[in-house]
A and B are shown apart, each in its own frame.
Chain A
């Protein structure tokens, strides 16, 4: 999840409790929240957590978005992680960014880079309250484009170049860790360094379209270990939010927040205003309310029955006897839910191997819960138009219909008075001759043609 990427630093006065203990009980307002502004996207990434593609007609209007920002300002939410879809394709996107930063709500937005022109980059570099996160899921075009679509690597690199050239420092290069790119971690770091960006690594969740590719793309057990070792070595420079707290069961806790922030310190507002516990849990089970309801977002955050439950002490269930439970907390709720595992049991990627056992024992895969509201492009991924697997040209055979001797014409093309004439003709009791061809009748101005 996109939690507080900001490294948490402790000022050390008397401390009866760890900060995570306070966080577990929830805060009066989220530290940051994810806000997906639109389901529209120019890409069709195979692992899209929100199954984005097409805009939803119910999406919040500009005015409704501004009202949400006003509320976030009142609640002192420090910043929002804006995503989508591709948020920059909303025509009011820059207006909303300016509105938020003018109202003391910082903005970090995720983009595939499609709208980051040199001019936009200049503008972003000039605003301290805006941060940008460019998504790239392969350090090479082949690995990236396989997941994010043709041309998406070049788009992201162009955006990063524009940001660097505009003087933007420490923007984020955001990578979803997959089976195909775990071996590229050093390369990602090198790319981030080249563009003056900070690397951000997140976990692939079986959410949205991610459920369709999770079996194929989620890191193997060996790769999880590789990732963990890499994070132990480089973790201070790399952001992970609360993505990898399940890996802390290898031993040493990783830098970052080692707890699930869902409903406690983070949540999701989706494009139609629905509030979910976390961006990876778009499902009725995790729906807390809607910002359009009376009381708005604040009421949902503070009063929702679901969030209340998430903030109450959680049972470790099957995990409570595990010696690592105190560090891994049973892992990611969304990962368990969408792989059909019980929420009070092990994470499907439990590093102790309990997840794999649980997956083997779970009920039939056909019963897996489904993401609410699929906004995928209807041909997603788009069918190839050319090449060996393409459809090729559509084959047509042109021929003439034998029952028609002339091109079809509409009644009024024959006569402006066609309809009236028919009435007249019937009133006069005339039988008109249907055997006459349209071409012959064209000059008669009498009967409407009967075209088969």
Chain B
């Protein structure tokens, strides 16, 4: 799975519902009817910051991700992008 570009901008897909859980969060996409999960709270924090952050990297840093762990989180976001849980921000409305 590919990492996303740290300088790209993203948002949660409008058809995705997020439910925080003690271990992280569950995500459900009403368009693809797929369930995903975030295995830690930090990733949830990152995802929630995406829409307002100037870049994916900034969202990670703001959520307290250490520089050394950045690649892990960018890969996780890559997986979410592949399953359309998150969408490129400028195309957010068009992504189905």
**A414 beta carbon closer than 8 Å to chain B:** no
A129 to B23, CA, bound (A): 27
Question: In the complex the two chains form, is A6's CB within 8 Å of B28's CB?
Answer: yes
B79 contact set on A, CB distance < 8 A: 9-12
**A104 beta carbon closer than 8 Å to chain B:** yes
Question: In the complex the two chains form, is A78's CB within 8 Å of B39's CB?
Answer: no
Residue of B nearest to A78 (CB): B28
Contact of A9 among B15, B31, B36, B75 (CB under 8 A): B36
Question: In the complex the two chains form, is A11's CB within 8 Å of B43's CB?
Answer: yes
Question: In the complex the two chains form, is B28's CB within 8 Å of A8's CB?
Answer: no
Sample of 7 more A-B contacts, CB < 8 Å, known A128-B31, A131-B33: A8-B36, A17-B23, A19-B39, A22-B21, A27-B21, A31-B26, A106-B30
A15 contact set on B, CB distance < 8 A: 39-40
A129 contact set on B, CB distance < 8 A: 30
> A8-26 CB contact bits vs B (8 Å, 1 = yes)?
1111111101010010000
A27 to B25, CA, bound (A): 11
A104 to B1, CA, bound (A): 31
B80 contact set on A, CB distance < 8 A: 11
A11 to B75, CA, bound (A): 8
**A223 beta carbon closer than 8 Å to chain B:** no
B20 to chain A, nearest CB (A): 9
B13 to chain A, nearest CB (A): 12
Question: In the complex the two chains form, is A13's CB within 8 Å of B35's CB?
Answer: no
**A29 beta carbon closer than 8 Å to chain B:** yes
Question: In the complex the two chains form, is B73's CB within 8 Å of A13's CB?
Answer: yes
Residue of A nearest to B73 (CB): A13
Asked, given contacts A9-B34, A13-B39, A14-B40, whether A128 binds B19 with beta carbons under 8 Å apart, the answer is no
B36 contact set on A, CB distance < 8 A: 8-11
Residue of B nearest to A257 (CB): B35
**A76 beta carbon closer than 8 Å to chain B:** yes
Question: In the complex the two chains form, is B39's CB within 8 Å of A4's CB?
Answer: no
List B59-96 residues whose CB lies under 8 Å from chain A. Answer: 69, 72-73, 75-77, 79-80, 83
Top 8 A-B residue pairs of the complex, sorted by shortest distance between their CB atoms? A6-B35, A78-B28, A76-B19, A11-B76, A22-B23, A13-B43, A15-B39, A13-B76
**A7 beta carbon closer than 8 Å to chain B:** yes
We find that the number of chain A residues with CB closer than 8 angstroms to chain B is 28
List B31-48 residues whose CB lies under 8 Å from chain A. Answer: 31, 33-40, 42-43
**B17 beta carbon closer than 8 Å to chain A:** yes
Asked, given contacts A11-B38, A13-B40, A22-B23, whether A128 binds B17 with beta carbons under 8 Å apart, the answer is no
A301 contact set on B, CB distance < 8 A: none
Give the dominant DSSP class at B's interface. Answer: mixed
Contact of A14 among B15, B19, B39, B83 (CB under 8 A): B39
Question: In the complex the two chains form, is B19's CB within 8 Å of A29's CB?
Answer: yes
A5 contact set on B, CB distance < 8 A: 33
Residue of B nearest to A76 (CB): B19
Residue of B nearest to A27 (CB): B21
Question: In the complex the two chains form, is B19's CB within 8 Å of A78's CB?
Answer: yes
B17 contact set on A, CB distance < 8 A: 76, 78, 104
Residue of B nearest to A239 (CB): B33
Question: In the complex the two chains form, is B35's CB within 8 Å of A78's CB?
Answer: yes
B37 contact set on A, CB distance < 8 A: 8-11, 19
B19 contact set on A, CB distance < 8 A: 29, 76, 78
Question: In the complex the two chains form, is A9's CB within 8 Å of B40's CB?
Answer: no
Contact of A4 among B22, B35, B73 (CB under 8 A): B35
B83 to chain A, nearest CB (A): 5
A92 contact set on B, CB distance < 8 A: none
A76 contact set on B, CB distance < 8 A: 17, 19
**A79 beta carbon closer than 8 Å to chain B:** yes
Contact of B35 among A14, A31, A131 (CB under 8 A): A31
List B1-32 residues whose CB lies under 8 Å from chain A. Answer: 1, 15, 17, 19, 21-23, 26, 28, 30-31
Asked, given contacts A13-B43, A19-B39, A78-B19, whether A7 binds B76 with beta carbons under 8 Å apart, the answer is no
A128 contact set on B, CB distance < 8 A: 15, 30-31
B68 to chain A, nearest CB (A): 12
**A194 beta carbon closer than 8 Å to chain B:** no
B31 contact set on A, CB distance < 8 A: 128
A14 contact set on B, CB distance < 8 A: 39-40, 69, 72
The 5 listed contacts between A and B (C-beta, < 8 Å) are A6-B28, A11-B43, A15-B39, A15-B40, A106-B33
**A28 beta carbon closer than 8 Å to chain B:** yes
A31 to B26, CA, bound (A): 8
A7 to B27, CA, bound (A): 12
Asked, given contacts A12-B75, A12-B79, A22-B23, whether A7 binds B15 with beta carbons under 8 Å apart, the answer is no
